[in-house]
Amino acid sequence: MLAEIKGLNEECGVFAIWGHEKAAEMTYYGLHAMQHRGQEGAGIVTSDKEMLYLHKGNGLINEVFQEGEFNRLRGSAALGHVRYATQGGGGYENVQPLLFRSQRNSMALAHNGNLVNAYALKNQLEAQGSILQTTSDTEVIAHLIKRSGHLAMEEAIKQALGMIKGAYAFSILTEDKLYVALDPRGLRPLSIGKLGDAYVVASETCAFDLIGATYEREVKPGELITIDDTGLTTTSFSSQMQRTLCSMEYVYFSRPDSNLDGLNVHASRKTMGKQLAYESPVEADVVTGVPDSSISAAIGFSEASGIPYELGLIKNRYVGRTFIQPSQELREQGVKMKLSPVRGIVNGKRVIMVDDSIVRGTTSRRIVRLLKEAGAKEVHVRIASPPIENPCYYGIDTSTKGELIAANHAVDDMCEIIGADSLAFLTTEGLEKSIVNESNSHEHGICKACFTGNYPTEIYPNTVLPAYKE
């Protein structure tokens, strides 16, 4: 669905490369492939083995970087980041990578996720004299690393990682090394690839495809990888746990051409759609999906049900982010600007509208209304994920329970609120069956906390929820 008006966003995308003469340019293209993961800020840090060079700014990657910037980003190693502001809010100072200079060495950090004990750690650091320069929880890891200044860098990082809790995929670039780490539960995606002799790290494998890199493997939960001119070495900073990769990566966030834990995102969404058709069939004339992330599930629903798939909704590709406005009147107009019903397809038809999720229900209500205004005789809404009844503390900006429609209304009430003729969700069992199966179950699993309320980590009393957007 349309993330800008839907109220469901990911924190960021991380990309890094070591050993390529065009490191900055490759990082730019890798971030461009992951622009969907964050549109509020972008940055790249490079290393020429003697110094780190930074350029970052607010906006899309092609707004932040012009050709001249690459001449100043020297070196064969780079770390990049695209950001959606959740924990800590927006502002230039929070755009990553965060660069920290010191007399001994410098380091740049990029992070995808959210630290659930950041509040407590910030209080502890400030009590010990640290002065935090940003409101981002990413800065915490830098202070923890530097506090262990007597240790070698790898040991300092391991010690710092042992103190933080939550979801994180970290990349840390120094003058002479690149470090990569994934939280012990593997809540966030992170993969390793090769481009010739260069090593590449990315939140999504679609970044590898764009630059011509080959996928090597996933970063393992609790793993710390060190990359330098001698190659790649790996160690563990935590005992191995059952992986609980965020299920919303499969449902909504990741690009359909990416692979997560060896499973193609498009294929998994098709399977969700098929499972949804088996669980909640309905008589209708056409199936349509809400662009873009719901198209795969709609195709799967169509194949399983035998009801033809049609493009009943078209997304306008040329509406800029500046149109997003807070007023209700402009929100209504915003949906019409971004989505157009195909009257010739839906007029007089019983339509099954497949979507990936419902957060507050306001956007679903507007889309149902659009289809009925275009002449749809019936609109049956099918959601290719379970009801979101609980907030996420791991870097996704789902709201408090009070603003989640499924946490406060039964399905029949939700159906009436959005104006649909029927409404059904994929079951939690159906979701897990669609993603984790016998062929990929080894060391694999998904986090379902937003659906079930069973969080895979401890949740601290002062955990700050990411800012909510609708």
Please say whether the beta carbons of 452 and 428 come within 8 A.
Answer: yes
pLDDT category of residue 461 using cuts at 50, 70 and 90: low
pLDDT digits (tens, 9 = 90+) for 18-34: 999 999 999 999 999 99
Is residue 438 pLDDT above 70, yes or no? no
Rounded to two decimals, the pTM is 0.89
pLDDT category of residue 5 using cuts at 50, 70 and 90: very low
Is 206 noted as a catalytic residue in this protein?
Answer: no
- Rounded to whole angstroms, how far apart are CA atoms 303 and 307? 7
Give the pLDDT confidence score for residue 129 in this predicted structure: 75
- Rounded to whole angstroms, how far apart are CA atoms 358 and 384? 10
pLDDT digits (tens, 9 = 90+) for 38-88: 989 999 999 999 999 999 999 999 999 987 789 999 999 999 999 875 544
Give the pLDDT confidence score for residue 328 in this predicted structure: 46
Element (H, E) at 428: helix 428-435
Q: What's at 358, amino acid-wise?
A: I
In the set 12, 206, 415, 450, the catalytic residue is 12
Please say whether the beta carbons of 382 and 427 come within 8 A.
Answer: no
Residue whose tokens read 């992070």: 111
Q: Encoding tokens for residue 430?
A: 């159906």
